[in-house]
Every structure is written in C-alpha cells, then in structure tokens.
Amino acid sequence: MNKPVRPSDRAFALAERWAQADGYESVEAYVDALIESDSDDAPMPGWMRQRLSDGLASPSAGERTREKLRNLVSEGVARARKG
C-alpha cells in the first residue's frame, strides 16, 4: 500500500527552506536524498546506543539538549574509530 507521508506544517516549511537552499527541485526530492543518504550510513552500534541511553538516564546527566547529544555521539564515534 502506498500512503503519503505528511509532516507537520512547521517541518514542511523547514524542508522547503533547506531543499531550496541545497538546490533541490522539490521537498520530495530533498527527502528522497535524505533517505538515500541515511541508508548509506552504518547504523549506530548497539553498545553505543546503550551507552548514550545510560548516560542520558543518569542523575548527573543534567538537561537533555541537542548539543549534548551531538557531543555524546561525536565522542562515541571517536572512541569507536580508535578501536
């Protein structure tokens, strides 16, 4: 079954802006490119996902922000590359 996906108005407006800025002909083309790109990336290893979850759930984690999550992911990726 082929059902259309409809993001919120806010998300669609952001996608329109990013699609135009990145030179895509439509939001659909932009979303297609994002999905293709995402499928090329390796999934996050289970151990990394568990460590992120444990860290965010700890009492000393503090406020959950995008910046904090970005830093945690970057740190995990750096550690994974070291072996």
Q: What's the CA gap between 16 and 21, in Å, rounded?
A: 9
- Residues 24-57: tens digit of each pLDDT: 999 989 888 888 777 656 666 777 778 878 877 8
pLDDT confidence of residue 41: 61
Band of the pLDDT at 16, cuts 50, 70, 90? very high
Q: What is the pTM of this model?
A: 0.44
pLDDT confidence of residue 2: 73
pLDDT confidence of residue 32: 86
